[in-house]
Amino acid sequence: MKIEQIYTGCLAQGAYYIHDNGEAVIIDPLREVKPYIDAAKKDNVKIKYIFETHFHADFVSGHITLAEKTGAPIIYGPNANPKFDAIIATDGQEFKVGSLTIRVLHTPGHTMESTTYLLLDEEGKEHAIFTGDTLFLGDVGRPDLAQKSGSLTIEDLAGYSYDSLRNKIMPLPDDILVYPAHGAGSACGKNMMKETVDTLGNQKKMNYALRHDMTKEEFIKEVTDGLAAPPAYFPHNVRLNKEGYESIDKVLSQGSKALSPDEFEAIANETSAIMLDVRKPHEYAQGHIPNSIFIGLDGSFAPWVGELIIDIAQPIILITPEGRESEAVTRLSRVGFDNTLGFLNGGIEAWKDSGKEIDSVESITATQFADDSKQMGIKIFDVRKPSEYTSEHVLNAENTPLSKLNDHLAEFPKEEKFHIHCAGGYRSMIASSILKARGYHNMIDVQGGFGAIRETDIPKTDYVCPSTL
């Protein structure tokens, strides 16, 4: 028996490849399925089943493409109603994989079709559970993503989650391994641990939602309290996972077209495509195409694209580091952005060599910022999340979270200079690019963000541990 967790950091997502005696299953695959097929070929095993824990909201799964390429059936738990061929398993139904058994545990709550898969070893011993978004390490799946599908309220779904955890998962042995679909950084929960596998026994000690003395009313209150609004792209991804989507091969072919500077400019003008610059923050600051938007590959790229670009059908053309063009197209497709029309061949240097216009962002060190802050009336905008800002911030800084930037535009001065920072420099450069596209050109970005600012003598609020907020 072999269990491999295939973890994708930018999505904080875990897919699983399990094989035994020549047969394999994939649980919650990502959209690009070649790695799973290659792994099965290398291990000389046949992919027998594709298990989906639920209709994912934060990424487009590879279940349909993988089924087409391997002939393996897709399996969902009860209540699923996909628009494609799939096995809708019953609660307790079992599937054989080599000498192993996978038992279906219907665990509604995060969504009504949410299902946990219990793996039994060759001797029938309970070995591991693959919990999807039902149970995370340190948290449980948010109950507010399926409410629009019917008359159920958030509180109803949280109640289902309470029952699923107490009746299906908590009675299992303490030494059983817990393999969730997500870890820290995912928007599918609010309090996840950085670890990606644990024992159920330890989760019973560490996870607030598994307290043995917790009433259903307490559970509902704690699970629903403090939930931020889900990203706007979530419903679109649910629809794609439920109804089907374009072939990843076609998406990659279209998005990997090399465009000359003139072709790039023409597409931007004729299609209103977003010019998406995915380089490093300092590279964008030093020189970029006017009105291009920065969201760097070396960060939470796909989630921020989904958060900030509302229309998943929006045409996109890319400015990328050399050799990372396909990576950018692939990562966009993971969250349903399939309308990438190509990339700037030769990158920003080709654009400069063609004599076309270049813009920049003024950027200073945290030490320079500390000196500037001694001036009276300096305007400072902190684009971190409210919880980060409340934990500790520069005195007199205004909190304008990146995810809500458009709601705060009227607060930014049009004429006078202002400073902008985040935690490390990634989000503030995204914010700077959006502001420049909205006609604000007088920002000064603080390199290194609050991490660097903290090391200066600039006046700050007293630190408050985020877990106590």
Q: What is the 3-state secondary structure (H, E, C) of 357-378?
A: CCECCEEECHHHHHHHCCCCCC
- Fold adopted by 363-468: Oxidized Rhodanese; domain 1 (3.40.250)
Q: Is the pLDDT of residue 149 over 60?
A: no
User: What confidence category does residue 433 fall into, taking pLDDT thresholds of 50, 70 and 90?
Assistant: very high
**What's the pLDDT at 229?**
82
**What's the pLDDT at 63?**
98
**What's the pLDDT at 227?**
85
Q: Is the pLDDT of residue 168 over 90?
A: yes
Q: Is the pLDDT of residue 469 over 70?
A: no
**What's the pLDDT at 187?**
82
**What's the pLDDT at 466?**
63
Q: Is the pLDDT of residue 319 over 90?
A: yes
In tens, the pLDDT along 182-218 reads 998 888 887 799 999 999 999 999 999 999 999 999 9
Burial class (CB in 10 A: 0-12, 13-18, 19+), 420: buried
Using CA atoms, how far apart are residues 222 and 199, in angstroms rounded to an integer? Answer: 23
Using CA atoms, how far apart are residues 27 and 62, in angstroms rounded to an integer? Answer: 10
Q: Which residue has the higher pLDDT, 13 or 151?
A: 13
3 state SS of 100? strand
Q: What is the mean pLDDT of residues 406-412?
A: 91
**What's the pLDDT at 10?**
84
**What's the pLDDT at 190?**
79
User: What confidence category does residue 321 fall into, taking pLDDT thresholds of 50, 70 and 90?
Assistant: very high
Q: What is the mean pLDDT of residues 304-320?
A: 94
In tens, the pLDDT along 61-102 reads 999 999 999 999 999 999 999 999 999 999 999 999 999 999
Q: Is the pLDDT of residue 465 over 80?
A: no
CATH tag, 2-236: 3.60.15.10
What strands, in cross-sheet order, belong to the sheet with 126-132?
A: 94-97, 100-106, 115-120, 126-132, 177-180, 198-199
**What's the pLDDT at 236?**
93
Using CA atoms, how far apart are residues 192 and 190, in angstroms rounded to an integer? Answer: 6
In tens, the pLDDT along 224-283 reads 998 888 888 899 999 999 999 999 999 999 999 999 999 999 999 999 999 999 999 999
**What's the pLDDT at 186?**
85
3 state SS of 130? strand
**What's the pLDDT at 99?**
98
Give the domain ranges of the chain: 2-236, 246-353, 363-468
Strand ranges in 306-446 using DSSP code E only, listed in sequence order:
316-319, 340-344, 362-364, 380-382, 398-399, 418-421, 443-446
Tell me whether the CATH fold assigned to 2-236 matches the one assigned to 246-353: no
User: What confidence category does residue 403 fall into, taking pLDDT thresholds of 50, 70 and 90?
Assistant: very high
User: What confidence category does residue 313 fall into, taking pLDDT thresholds of 50, 70 and 90?
Assistant: very high
Using CA atoms, how far apart are residues 430 and 400, in angstroms rounded to an integer? Answer: 13
pLDDT averaged over the chain?
94
User: What confidence category does residue 150 fall into, taking pLDDT thresholds of 50, 70 and 90?
Assistant: low
**What's the pLDDT at 214?**
96
Superfamily of domain 246-353: Rhodanese-like domain (3.40.250.10)
Using CA atoms, how far apart are residues 214 and 280, in angstroms rounded to an integer? Answer: 46
- Share above pLDDT 70 across residues of the chain, in percent, rounded to a whole number: 98
**What's the pLDDT at 381?**
97
**What's the pLDDT at 328?**
97
Q: Which residues contact 330 (CB under 8 A, 6 or more apart)?
A: 31, 32, 248, 252
State the alpha helices, DSSP H only, in 78-172.
154-164
* One-letter amino acid of 184: A
